[in-house]
Structure 1
Amino acid sequence: MKKEEQIQKTAHHVRSCFACEGSGHDWWHLYRVWQLAKQIAAKEGGRLFIIEMAALLHDMDDWKLGSQSESKAMAWMTQIGLDEQHRTQIQTIINQVSFKGAEVDTVPGSIEACIVQDADRLDAMGAIGIARTFAYGGHKGRLIYDPKVQPEMHASFSEYQKSTAPTINHFYEKLLLLKDRMNTKTAKKIAVKRHRFMETYLEHFFREWNMEEQTLTS
């Protein structure tokens, strides 16, 4: 099977797996990460086949979507005939993509991993990032905001996994930290605008929450 056919089969497979996912980790998230990764790679380099496959498969075994004893990503790569070297390289990138806590280093080990991690994190920022954050909060039954619950900079992955904090806290615990954690020049430029949008959103959110807007009467 040629590489392009393996990519297209993988895209079809993950689309079928994530079509009805309501947590913000749906097929369209995977599609955006895939496309962003290709755009970044066009300027930053890297092995495109490895980048595309890792981008498409990066959520197959995500802990947020349920745990499993065997890797679904690895099983799929075996099914479509990837050799051991490619499977290992792609799985390594997948393991390095996820954010694991504000005080946890998640350093990618290759340019390919840098690109896929950047693409995934860019999709957690800006207007779409905001929408996905509230989708996930609703999916988990979390409050939108509670002034009594302060954001926490998690010192370990286990602490981050156990968090049940309101959704607004997630901006401070993750989303607003991403701009300064981008790896590539291309992603850093995109992140600046998305970061500003999130800051503006939060300014409006807290004005409305605190009822600081002037009431207009006719």
Structure 2
Amino acid sequence: MDFLTSQGNFEQVVQIAKGFYARKDRAHDLDHALRVREWGKKLALAEGADVIVIELAALLHDIGRSGAVEKTHAQSSAGLADNILHKAGYPETVIIRVKEAIIAHSREEGYEPKTLEAKILYDADKLDFVGAIGLGRLFTLGGVQGWPLVGENSCESFYQEKIRSYHEHLFTKSALNYFKPLFSYMEEFWHKLHKEMI
């Protein structure tokens, strides 16, 4: 038996998460959560963190993004995760750590990742916003928001104001190593785009 399932019913968590993500924008959907899960597993193995906590937190970190009942989507996601994980049979010790990671993954309301698992979830979430996938997500988000490609309140301004500074806040050395080539790809894209613009 897989250790994930020996702690609780992981497949039940996945099925419930699918329902929540079906209502989310395509930049924050189940595919995003699953990619964050994969990044999280890589970082957890490299940094010696609890893989179970990382996988569960990654899977559930954005389920409260739309229709949030709390102040922030992270707080809402953490509250929903509490109920889901209890129903799936996970022990309180795991649930507390998962919620702690989720609530700090966006640093809203001044929350800072303090545990290794919270830091890894934060880093894994940011790694899914760089490289070719990061560009795809950025343009998907831009479509939802109605942003133009360049100019004020655009995809490019979001990139300049947010994504370009992600490397300054990554917590793990492993994440920074993965981040650098993906970030270089994005920088090259914007450089080429401006060269091609008429």
The interval holding the TM-score normalised by the smaller chain is 0.7 to 0.9
When the two structures are superposed, what TM-score results if normalisation uses the length of structure 1? 0.77
Aligned AA for 2:140? A
Conservation of the 8 A alpha-carbon contact between 1:25 and 1:59: yes
The two structures have a TM-score, normalised by structure 2, of: 0.85
Residue in structure 2 matched with residue 158 of structure 1 by the alignment: none
**Match of residue 95, structure 1, among 96, 103, 108:** 103
CA distance in 1, matches of 2:21, 2:63: 9
Residues in 2 aligned to 1:131 and 1:181: alpha-carbon distance in whole angstroms: 22
Counterpart position of 2:92: 84
Per-residue CA deviations over 1:144-166 (Å, capped at 9, x if unaligned) read: 222xx3xxxxxxxxxxxxxxx22
Which segments of 5 or more consecutive residues in structure 1 lack a partner in the other structure?
150-164, 212-218
> Which residue in the other structure is 1:142 paired with?
147
Q: Is the 8 A contact 1:7 1:52 kept in 2?
A: no
1:84-123 matches, within 5 Å, as: 84-98=92-106, 100=108, 107-123=112-128
1:163-189 alpha-carbon deviations (Å, 9 max, x no partner): xx2221111111111123221121111
- What is the CA–CA distance in structure 2 between the aligned matches of 1:170 and 1:15, rounded to whole Å? 28
Segments of structure 2 that go 5 or more residues without pairing to the other structure are: 71-75
Moved over 4 A (4+): none
- 2:138 — aligned with what? 133
For 2:28, what is the secondary structure of its paired residue? Answer: coil
SS in 2 for 1:178: helix
Partner of 2:53: 50
Partner Cα distance (2:146, 2:186) in 1: 22
Q: Structure 1 counterpart of 2:178, which letter?
A: I
Task: Assess, with a 3 A threshold, how the Cα gap between structure 1 residues 20 and 60 changes in structure 2: closer, same or farther.
Answer: closer
1:14 corresponds to 2:17? yes
Q: Which amino acid aligns with 1:34?
A: R
Aligned twin of 1:72: 80
Larger helix proportion, structure 1 or 2? 2
Question: How far apart in 2 are the matches of 1:127 and 1:119?
Answer: 15
Question: In angstroms, what is the RMSD of aligned CA positions?
Answer: 2.1
